[in-house]
Structure 1
Amino acid sequence: MKPFNIEDIKRLRAEIEQLEGTIVIVPHINPDGDAIGSVLGLASILKNAGKQVTVISPNHFPEFLKWMKGSDELLVYVNAREKAAKILNEASMLICLDFNHLSRIGELKELIENWSGKKVMIDHHPYPQGFADLEFSHPDYSSTAELVFHVTKAMGYEQYIDLDGAECLFCGIMTDTGSFDYNVSDPQTFNTVSELLAFGVNPEDIHGRVFDNYSVDRMRLMGYCLSECMEVFPEYHAAVMYLSKETKAKFHYQKGDNEGFVNMPLSIKGIHFSAFFTENDDQIKASFRSKGEFAVNEFATAHFGGGGHRNAAGGEVFDTLEATVERFRKLLPEYAEELKRTKQD
């Protein structure tokens, strides 16, 4: 993996150590395991170093991530706009984790865009916007959580990592690699996991907290989606699943209930490209996964206003669910040869 610029590391450490005010840490909107694991992991490390830290999330995050230390102190912006704005305006440093474009933070965009303090970005997605004063942009890392671990180590802050922080970072790596199913081509990722285990992390326990903690409604929703809302296109080695607002209401949907659904069609023999579309009040959220060389980040960028990594990407569409799914169907013939060449069976 690409080494850090040592001068940037020295500068980050010096500026953190000189701070007397609050450090605000922000993840992207609709934060997932990597985003929450990264912000809570870094917050734990900085608090142990004697710093005053506040985590502000643009909106709510899934229930199955609320076991992590510090999640009860996290401030949700949509619930406390005035309080969050006051804390941010008085802060000495802003650290942005797991996003590299201000379009990814919802209503917080205007506040952060106009914030005049020191901004730091730590992220593993490609093509950064360049909004921060100091950036650690490393797409070769499996996850932002892994990147946070190595940035703090490079700063000499390993001494401030404890079990709570290590659990958060491990959760971030585990969830952003699909339980080590993708984004794990570099041996360093497993070396990182080994180092985190040395802090006392129990992988089976964390896996159970995240993946064995669902409601009955969520299980029934999954079965319904597989039965009624999945289309398979064997000639293109592809599949699509979709979730409407009506279906959400039918199964008493809670935020995060569709976590991992996009991966399910990849278990079908011959399928190595999967799409999942979720209907929200103001847009359609798109998720894409692949096996092999098919670059879903390029597909997402070209057609669904998004991006990400080669095998895991997402986007947003401002259209109806029906039109979005139909767009996906019509795009498949354009990629027929490419999908055939990347066949994994």
Structure 2
Amino acid sequence: MSKAPLAAYPALRLRRLRQADWVRRMVRETALTPADLIWSMVVHDGEGQVPVPSMPGVSRFSIQDAVAAAKEARALGIPAIAIFPHIDGAKKDATGALAHDPDGLICRAVKAMKDAAPEVGIMCDVALDPFTDHGHDGLIENGKISNDATIERLVLQGLVQAQAGCDILAPSDMMDGRCGVLRSALEAEGLQDVMIMSYAAKFASAFYGPYRDAIGSGKLGTGGSPVDKKTYQMDAANHQEALREVAMDIAEGADMVMVKPGLPYLDIVRQVVDAFQVPTFAYQVSGEYAMLMAAAQNGWLDEERAILETLGSFKRAGASGVITYFAPRAARLLGA
């Protein structure tokens, strides 16, 4: 399709289309709505809400609070919630055995949230790091993360989550081949309608620190362990490798893919969207949230404008939606 020839000034004055709010809205190229948001939430096995020090405005939710949040999401038009667990350190072990406990925190939270607000989708993280005492996403054997042994545990975890009522399994571990094995296991168990949103391009990033605070893994797995997360998460310098990872996960049965982190990797989002034309999401991670909130609290940014501007940038890059801790705040702002 040919483009219209560009006129010259003064016949063309681009500011004509910016002169009033109504015309700016009329010609706006992308739009952000509550339906574009997935609410990122941490749940804990206790009472009430527990503030996360490194994430102002974010708390760990009890199951009762998570149920209330599911009802709030429904009222705000937020289509889905992604839940992550905070596990008591005394209950963790080297294998993350609690990850596949059918009566564990996540399964109980999923059941309660789906009972309260069945119209709201629930997405579950499939990874061992919240459950392991070393903080890694996989099993350590001979000083390395064992890819295939880890996948066996991830499948057990994913199946109990799906059986509890989870709508979307989101493997974030970055083990090779995990989407295919998980998809086969779901089919074998008659759970063919459960979706997979793969953390297809998850980079070894400095922006995950506050999340580890939120789930209680602290600095585990970042240097003191015998292995490094860089041995399974992607090198931040690579983009062609990201496309190979996405292609692999789609071929294995992923219904949707994700790029993580978000803002520093908008170029990857655009490349994935252009290359594959599949639903592509971005994760506005804890470090991105914490930076924006810190700047806003110091008076360096207009908080509300910064929230909507950053979320809008994901849509402009082509993302189908954004997983974000700002979801309820943004949905209220968009509905104002």
Q: TM-score, normalised by structure 1?
A: 0.29
Question: Which protein has greater RCO, CA pairs closer than 8 Å, 6+ apart?
Answer: 2
Q: TM-score, normalised by structure 2?
A: 0.29
